[in-house]
Amino acid sequence: MNLSDINEQLDKADFKMEKKKAILALIDIKVENEMEKVLSRFDRIEERLESNIKTFIWVVGVAFAIVSVLLTIIALKG
């Protein structure tokens, strides 16, 4: 159910404005809490991705260094 549906249902119900505001405030608190969870999860994913990228770059650098040393050895022997 989206916010427009909720608003429509509240308009149909015979609630006073104070009760409608209270219901909307509770919905707002719930949405904000869920959004904080989603953002927290994105932060953790971002941290893991950065860590994986750093590890990948390090491994590629080491592999490049090893290949360079091997090619230098082969060139010096030949």
- Tell me the per-residue pLDDT of 1-31, one tens digit each, with 9 for 90 and over: 777 888 788 888 877 888 888 888 998 999 9
Answer yes or no: is pLDDT of 67 > 90: yes
Q: What is the pLDDT of residue 14?
A: 79
Are 10 and 17 within 8 A, CB to CB?
A: no
Alpha helix segments (H runs only) across 1-78: 3-12, 17-77
- C-alpha span between 30 and 35 (Å, rounded): 9
Q: What is the pLDDT of residue 21?
A: 86
| Tokens linked to 37 | 């969870």
Answer yes or no: is pLDDT of 61 > 80: yes
What is the pTM assigned to this prediction? Answer: 0.57
